[in-house]
Amino acid sequence: MSAALAGGRIRRLTPVLLPLLILVMLVGLVFVLRPNTMSYMGLNLLLKLSVPLIFAALSQMLIISQGDLDLSTGAYVGFVTCISAVYLADQPILGWSILIGSVLLYGLVGLVTWLRRLPSIVVTLGMSFVWLGLALFILPSPGGQAPDWLVALPRLRPAFMPFPIWTAIVCVIVLEFGLMRSSAGVVLRGAGGNPQAMVRAGWSVAGLRAIAYLLAGVCAMISGLLLSGLTTSGAPNIAPSYTLLSIASVILGGGAFVGGIVSPFGAVVGAITLTLVSSVLTFLHVPSVWQIGAQGGLLILVLLLRGLLKGDDQ
């Protein structure tokens, strides 16, 4: 009996444990290939590019928790880098006003897609062109200058661990308690997992979806700001790959497209794993054109292993 219970518990944890195991293996491989990365500065350089992707993945996770997909994540992140590089340093009030307005527009998209029963894929695909057009209008070519405080943020040297690891830990703690263990988080995920039940319980699904999209917009905005701080500038087409990488991070970390089934811990692990895959392939001198394919292959492998370990024959 105890063996059966243990087996059931392992199967339930498989979606999260599997990407964590792959992440540990990748970190070990990196240390073997480049022993000098096994230091404070080495880990900081290795993981710094994962920080913006972590927030993009968390943004996508909130959308997927509603049973939707956001195909505008990469374009919106590029738009935010342009606002940062053009306005935040010299005209901060205007810059923050635009960013707050864009987050409110994110929430409006969630509201409209529910009220009009529009497919989120189509609406967010359309929004990706809106964000890209606005970004090109504001900053036609890469350039500008991010504010000093934003450039200094990714260069922080906190105690004990590098900034990217602290960021990942804080994100996991905040969202694990806020989304997975609080009553408000259960209600928010319920709007995506079983909206009919939430309506019968007296909740406004439209309002809950608007809140989820608003929070997703906040996470995507932070992603763009951090990316602007890392690059010290802005560019409309700086992050087109973030759309698919953020989706892959959520699914790699145990999320599902059915709504309500997500894991903040898994999404963060997925984002770091996909970042490390690129580093490992670079260390192995694999051409960059193969790296995206390798990340897709890893995602397929994890899904296959997850299905096998869960005994899913579908």
- What structural domains does the chain harbor? 16-28+41-307 (1.10.3470)
Is 55 in contact with 80 (CB distance < 8 Å)? no
Per-position pLDDT tens, the chain of length 314: 566 666 666 666 666 677 788 888 888 888 888 887 778 888 888 888 899 999 999 999 999 999 889 999 999 999 999 999 999 988 999 999 999 999 999 999 989 988 888 888 999 999 999 999 999 999 998 988 999 999 998 888 888 899 999 999 999 999 988 888 888 889 888 888 888 888 888 888 889 999 999 999 999 999 999 999 999 999 999 988 899 889 988 988 888 888 888 889 989 998 998 888 888 888 887 777 777 777 777 777 777 777 776 655 44
Q: What pLDDT, on a 0 to 100 scale, did the predictor assign at position 3?
A: 60
Is 82 in contact with 135 (CB distance < 8 Å)? yes
Q: What pLDDT, on a 0 to 100 scale, did the predictor assign at position 274?
A: 87
Q: What pLDDT, on a 0 to 100 scale, did the predictor assign at position 314?
A: 44
Q: What pLDDT, on a 0 to 100 scale, did the predictor assign at position 167?
A: 94
Is 154 in contact with 166 (CB distance < 8 Å)? no
Q: What pLDDT, on a 0 to 100 scale, did the predictor assign at position 261?
A: 85
Q: What pLDDT, on a 0 to 100 scale, did the predictor assign at position 194?
A: 87
This prediction has a pTM of 0.91
Q: What pLDDT, on a 0 to 100 scale, did the predictor assign at position 10?
A: 61
Is 205 in contact with 114 (CB distance < 8 Å)? yes
Report the C-alpha gap between 113 and 69 in whole angstroms.
11
Report the C-alpha gap between 272 and 291 in whole angstroms.
15
* Residues 6 or more apart whose Cβ sits within 8 Å of residue 114: 205, 206, 209
Q: What pLDDT, on a 0 to 100 scale, did the predictor assign at position 313?
A: 46
